[in-house]
């Protein structure tokens, strides 16, 4: 019948039924490959049959129609699916075979199309002001937005990422971050973009699930394209994990495989710590906390010795840093409560008590106490620590951590206190040199803007920031940590 119709032209071989379906479409829906082949050979117009075959995931028909398209297509002319009128086509003009195959996440069809050189151009930035974007947005803003959503839905296909990317994890991270930004920039399509972002995150987690040993997991997490490949026994820099944190890949970071590896690295300096009894754990922590000055001194003398190597392990480093900071807070409390004076009154000799009474009478011109000098030493250490972090991690990484703003504020206030105390000491020394009686001026009669009074006020503010830093230590607790994060989110939303 087809041959007769081809000779006599008494039947329209491209006719459609009441639903607008042609014979080729019906054959594809029925998955009748022989009929599809016959209709193509007899010259039935393919139109958007290739898209329909991809939509039906009919792989054999896709291969057949692609071969046919290569035979009939001429350079600088539209493809068959592009010639169909938009009003009668099942698909919008922005849907190409590769885009549709990516929407269906069909690995076989995607591989066939990619092997034939099909590509998906990267969508323009949402704020792009090029002529094409302005024209498309002016003509039909809805179609322009939907076209961008369709392109990103294709790019977020796990099969497409696996087939086309040299670094699937990095691609998933970057695309997830881009979709997050789009969700906030284009509120109308926010739910679609967030769904695609979750799809990218799930793909990264699924890739992580394929690791079957600690060595494979270490290779994944330590991969850095600019560094030599990781080998067993090398120092773990965890470059890929840091990248996941920067791109806010929470499910990836919280994956059990990663947490197990991090736990083994965390307790590396104290083997078997997690299996010990609670009292044994408490004894180890208290022992390290009390002896932290000795540990620090031994590390400074021999950093590469056995004890120094243990000190570099994360858990030991955390215990010593936490102990040192708690000791710093204790010094602040002692200075605020004038503990030196109380100790002298309780345990000092008569001469010490006499000197103390003279100091109390001398309201002006007093230098720093021993505890205050110890605070100065700590502040210098804090500033050196912050400078090292900026140098090693970079200013961008430093500014991304909100706790660093508290550290900076604390250090800045203490520096202001030291500067004002120095100015006050010099100023008061000059006043006393001119008139020795000024040393006994009561504080109530001082100038309202006296540098020492301002310094004491700033010292109180700096102490508040120092105490706030203590909250950061609670994040390691499985109960207090999530509460701290939740509270932070509530404050941020407010």
Give, in order, the Cα–Cα distances in Å from 489 to each of 162, 353, 405, 442, 484: 35, 52, 17, 47, 9
Overall size of the chain counted in residues: 494
User: DSSP labels for 234-265?
Assistant: S----HHHHHHHHTT-HHHHT-HHHHHHHHHH
- At 10 the pLDDT is 53
Band (pLDDT 50/70/90 cuts) for residue 396 is confident
Cα dihedral: 187, 193, 198, 203 (round 10): -160
If one compares 363 and 74, the residue with the highest pLDDT of the two is: 74
- At 494 the pLDDT is 43
- At 94 the pLDDT is 85
Instruction: Assess contact for 252 and 205: CB atoms under 8 A.
Output: yes
Instruction: Assess contact for 22 and 10: CB atoms under 8 A.
Output: no
Q: How many other CB atoms are found less than 10 A from the CB of residue 83? A: 13
Using one digit for the tens of pLDDT, what is the confidence trace for 101-147?
999 999 999 999 999 888 888 888 888 878 888 888 888 888 888 88
| 454 vs 239: CA distance, rounded Å | 46
Residue with token string 């660093």? 404
Residue with token string 């102490």? 463
- At 82 the pLDDT is 75
Which residue, among 458, 470, 476, has the nearest Cα to 329 in the 3D structure?
470
- At 75 the pLDDT is 79
Which residue, among 265, 203, 273, 206, has the nearest Cα to 237 in the 3D structure?
265
Token pair belonging to 486 = 């939740």
Q: Set out the domains of the chain in order of their start, with CATH numbers.
A: 1-91 (1.25.40), 338-493 (no CATH)
- At 151 the pLDDT is 92
| 145 vs 216: CA distance, rounded Å | 41
If one compares 174 and 360, the residue with the highest pLDDT of the two is: 174
Percent residues over pLDDT 90 in the chain: 33
Using one digit for the tens of pLDDT, what is the confidence trace for 7-21?
555 566 667 766 777
Give, in order, the Cα–Cα distances in Å from 325 to each of 270, 387, 428: 21, 18, 33
For residue 206, is pLDDT > 80?
A: yes
For residue 489, with 0-12 CB atoms within 10 Å meaning exposed, 13-18 middle and 19 or more buried, which class applies?
Answer: exposed
For residue 477, is pLDDT > 90?
A: no
| 285 vs 385: CA distance, rounded Å | 24
- At 231 the pLDDT is 81
Give me the phi and psi of 22, to 5 degrees please.
-85, 175
Per-residue HEC secondary structure of 8-50 comes to HCCCCCCCECCCCCEHHHHHHHCCCHHHHHHHHHCCCCCCCHH
Which residue, among 426, 387, 411, 386, has the nearest Cα to 463 in the 3D structure?
411
Percentages helix, strand, coil for the chain (3-state, rounded to 5) are 70, 0, 30
| 181 vs 205: CA distance, rounded Å | 21
Band (pLDDT 50/70/90 cuts) for residue 420 is very high
For residue 2, is pLDDT > 60?
A: no
| 381 vs 216: CA distance, rounded Å | 39
Token pair belonging to 203 = 């793909």
Token pair belonging to 199 = 């799809």
Instruction: Assess contact for 318 and 456: CB atoms under 8 A.
Output: no
Instruction: Assess contact for 65 and 80: CB atoms under 8 A.
Output: no
For residue 350, is pLDDT > 70?
A: yes
Residue with token string 């067993």? 232
- At 169 the pLDDT is 93
| 443 vs 446: CA distance, rounded Å | 5
Question: Radius of gyration (Cα) for the chain, nearest Å?
Answer: 36
Tell me what the pLDDT averaged over the chain comes to. Answer: 85
User: DSSP labels for 205-216?
Assistant: HHHHHT--SHHH
């Amino acid at each position: 019948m087809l041959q007769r119709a081809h000779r006599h032209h008494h039947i329209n071989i491209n006719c459609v039924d009441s639903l607008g379906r042609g014979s080729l479409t019906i054959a594809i829906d029925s998955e009748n490959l022989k009929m599809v082949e016959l209709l193509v050979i007899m010259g039935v117009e393919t139109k958007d049959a290739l898209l329909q075959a991809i939509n039906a995931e009919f792989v054999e028909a896709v291969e057949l129609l692609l071969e046919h398209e290569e035979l009939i297509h001429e350079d600088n002319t539209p493809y068959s699916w592009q010639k169909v009128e938009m009003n009668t086509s099942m698909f919008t003009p922005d849907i190409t075979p590769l885009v549709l195959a990516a929407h269906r996440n069909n690995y076989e069809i995607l591989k066939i199309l990619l092997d034939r050189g099909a590509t998906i151009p990267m969508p323009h930035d949402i704020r792009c002001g090029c002529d094409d974007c302005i024209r498309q947005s002016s003509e039909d803003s809805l179609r322009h937005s939907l076209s961008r959503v369709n392109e990103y839905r294709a790019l977020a296909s796990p099969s497409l990422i696996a087939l086309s990317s040299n670094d699937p994890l990095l691609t998933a991270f970057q695309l997830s971050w881009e979709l997050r930004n789009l969700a906030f920039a284009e509120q109308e399509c926010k739910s679609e973009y967030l769904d695609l972002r979750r799809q990218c995150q799930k793909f990264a987690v699924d890739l992580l699930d394929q690791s079957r040993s600690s060595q494979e997991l270490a290779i994944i997490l330590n991969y850095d394209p600019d560094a030599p490949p990781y080998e067993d026994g090398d120092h773990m820099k965890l470059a890929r994990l840091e990248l996941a944190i920067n791109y806010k890949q929470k499910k990836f970071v919280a994956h059990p495989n990663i947490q197990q590896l991090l736990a083994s690295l965390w307790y590396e300096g104290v083997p078997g710590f997690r299996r010990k009894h609670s009292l044994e754990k408490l004894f180890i922590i208290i022992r390290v906390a009390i002896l932290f000055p000795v540990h620090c001194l031994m590390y400074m003398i021999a950093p590469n010795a056995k004890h120094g190597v243990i000190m570099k392990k994360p858990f030991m480093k955390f215990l010593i840093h936490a102990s040192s900071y708690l000791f710093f807070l204790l010094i602040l409390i002692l200075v605020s409560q004038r503990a030196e004076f109380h100790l002298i009154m309780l345990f000092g000799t008569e001469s010490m008590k006499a000197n103390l009474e003279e100091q109390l009478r001398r309201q002006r011109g007093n230098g720093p106490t021993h505890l205050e000098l110890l605070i100065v030493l700590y502040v210098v250490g804090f500033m050196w620590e912050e400078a090292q972090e900026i140098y090693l991690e970079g200013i961008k990484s430093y500014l991304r951590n909100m706790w660093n703003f508290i550290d900076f504020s604390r250090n800045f206030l203490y520096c202001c206190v030291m500067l004002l105390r120095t100015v006050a000491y010099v100023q008061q020394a000059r006043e006393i040199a001119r008139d020795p009686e000024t040393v006994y001026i009561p504080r109530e009669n001082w100038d309202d803007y006296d540098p020492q009074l301002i310094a004491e006020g700033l010292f109180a503010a700096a102490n508040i920031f120092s105490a706030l830093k203590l909250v950061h230590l609670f994040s390691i607790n499985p109960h207090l940590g999530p509460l701290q994060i939740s509270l932070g989110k509530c404050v941020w939303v407010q």
